[in-house]
Amino acid sequence: MYAIVNKRCLAEGIYLMDIDAPRMARSSQPGQFLIVRTHEQGERIPLTICDYDAVKGVITIVTQIVGASSRQICIKEKGETLLDVMGPLGHPSEFIHLSKEELAQQHYLFIAGGVGAAPVYPQVKWLHQQGAKADVIIGAKNAGMVILEEEMRKISNELFITTDDGSAGTKGLVTDKLKQLLAEGKKYTHIIAIGPMVMMKFVALATKDSGIPLTVSLNTLMVDGTGMCGACRVSVGGKTKFACVDGPEFNGYVVDFDEAMRRQVMYKTMELDADHKCKIGLDGK
């Protein structure tokens, strides 16, 4: 059992939780993920690590309610427990292998769409601790859906907010801000995009001719987190890869995003149906 030592609502349907897990907190690295299970018959839910504190012995996860299983996590309160938390899993971000001297020469741009701000946060935090520069674009539907803005502002070189309706930051898409920054002559050595699959696809299209390396995270494809189910199978550079065991981060220019998006919607009907049943159960009917 893993105790929830802190919980707060970041936005409608999005919750942050600190979990008591000392061993995982000591071994976690940016870019990795966990598997969470709420009860014996519960689904295995892969969640990227939002933060980790080896001194306090806690890991931080951010969960958005999208179906029955994510709802079961989010209704848990401080003081309650999760049955299983397994990890860290997946390959950490490649930049952790660079020396401090090499990192000092880098200027990263992170693009976070929606809940993608959660996995972006530990990467920017790690780079900040190493003295590397990282700008961040956070995109959301509206001001109420922007998460981790205050935390990100403390560790980023520059932070840009975009919203679909213009209620926070600038009105428009993250790709609009990306194109603007590049047009203004910003010199980035690497771009990392994490968020909805369609967002990452258009980031790749927008930067393809720039010559700037692009990394994307396919964490949203994962289901069981071990490669056994095959649900996160995706073509990368013409080869079959599994997001959970080969990633979750890949070269964004060689990912077949159209295939990935088709695979992503395969389970949507079942997910929505399960969520409906879950709501009935929560009402006690």
170-171/233-236 β-pairing: unpaired
Angle at 9 between CA 7 and CA 13, to 5 degrees: 120
Domains and CATH numbers, the chain: 2-89 (2.40.30.10), 94-213 (3.40.50.80)
What local confidence, expressed as pLDDT, does residue 160 receive?
Answer: 98
User: Closest Cα to residue 199, out of 116, 120, 273?
Assistant: 116
pLDDT band at 255 (very low <50, low <70, confident <90, very high): very high
pTM: 0.91
**Residue 107's beta-bridge partner residues?**
133
pLDDT band at 268 (very low <50, low <70, confident <90, very high): low
Percent above pLDDT 90 for the chain: 82
In tens, the pLDDT along 122-139 reads 999 999 999 999 999 999
pLDDT band at 276 (very low <50, low <70, confident <90, very high): very low
Rounded Cα–Cα distance for residues 175 and 132 (Å): 23
pLDDT band at 15 (very low <50, low <70, confident <90, very high): very high
Structure tokens at 239: 């080869």
In tens, the pLDDT along 183-207 reads 999 999 999 999 999 999 999 999 9
Which residue in the block uniquely carries the two structure tokens 């927008």? Answer: 206
In tens, the pLDDT along 209-245 reads 999 999 999 988 888 777 788 888 999 999 999 999 9
In tens, the pLDDT along 18-69 reads 999 999 999 999 999 999 999 888 888 999 999 999 999 999 999 999 888 8
Q: Is 7 exposed, middle or buried (0-12, 13-18, 19+ CB in 10 A)?
A: middle
